[in-house]
Amino acid sequence: MFFRRKKNIPNGLWKRCDGCKSVVYKKQVEEKHNVCPECNHHFRISTYERINITLDKGSFEEYWNDMMSADPLNFKDRIKYTERIESEQKKTKLNEAATVGKGLIEGKEVIFGVTDSTFIMGSMGSVVGEKITRAAEKARELRLPLIIISGSGGGARMQEGAFSLMQMAKTCAAISRLQDAGLLFISVLTDPTLGGVMASFASQADIIMAEPGALVGFAGPRVIKETIKKTLPKGFQSAESMLKHGFIDIIAERSRLRPEISKILDYCNVNRSNQVVTVEY
């Protein structure tokens, strides 16, 4: 009996969809901005993928990239907090869970931020809170719209204790000052947006958008189910449920997110002032 020699097939050509469980051609998924061609499930994407598909090519200027988390509590669980930060930096190629800067969306200048769930679940520690706060202050100084895309499933970062919790109040105060100045803040909720991020700046925007199927809420559904000992309704804490109940304004597919934001910026631009204010950091 003879067998044909198998051809060498490169690894990584296929990936399994978390939504429909289909095995799909990876190139097709990437061509659709990491969206499943079978069921429209939106895969989680990295910070710089998000920047590349949302902002004009080459327009992003990152701010405060040298900010690093301290270890005020000398925290240690399985490993030291400082070691965990170093491990996450190597794994993700990010310094922290938040990346902020200035860029263009179809030629319109904005202050732009992203939180990334791959870095300690996008949890909000002192650096994340400081970057979001500074982004809001920079938007106020330059009289620019602020856009933050949230992908944080980790809430306040326990390794920093009260220093982490206070970031909720700090970011909310910065956003309030931005809004008091008459400037636009757009929040985009992606899968997952939970905990202290959702309970602070992510839900404080003038316009709240979300990607289809995004998990959005404070405590996750598993925690809630175990606490109340009841079966949760279908679609609980999904972006679609939040839209139905008035907690968000727009659900936009990833391919439509950039033009939808651009349309909102065009509509709101009539109220914008060119006056520059001085902000001290």
Q: What is the pLDDT of residue 221?
A: 86
- Least Cα distance to 184 among 268, 279, 59 occurs for 268
Q: Which has the closest alpha carbon to 280: 141, 149, 126?
A: 141
SS3 state at 60: coil
Domain map (residue ranges) of the chain: 12-43, 45-271
pLDDT of residue 220: 84
Question: By C-alpha distance, which of 159, 152, 105 is closest to 132?
Answer: 152
145 cis-preceded (ω within 30 degrees of 0): no
pLDDT for position 141: 97
Query: Looking at the domain covering 45-271, what would its CATH class be?
Result: alpha beta
Determine how β-strand 23-25 pairs with β-strand 207-210. unpaired
Check residue 41 and give its pLDDT.
92
Cα three-residue angle 234-236-242, rounded to 5 degrees:
125
pLDDT confidence of residue 217: 92
Which residues of the chain fall below pLDDT 50? Answer: 9, 270-273, 275-277
Q: Report how far residue 93's alpha carbon sits from residue 87's, in angstroms, rounded to the nearest whole number.
A: 10
What gap in Å lies between CA 153 and CA 265, rounded to an integer? 28
* Backbone phi and psi for residue 94, each to the nearest 5 degrees, phi listed first: -115, 150
* CB-based contacts of 19, cutoff 8 Å, min separation 6: 36, 39, 40, 41, 213
Among 199, 213, 175, which residue's Cα sits nearest to residue 18?
213
- Give the global pTM: 0.89
Q: Looking at the chain, how many residues does it have? A: 281
Residue 137 near residue 279, CB atoms below 8 Å: yes
pLDDT at 4: 58
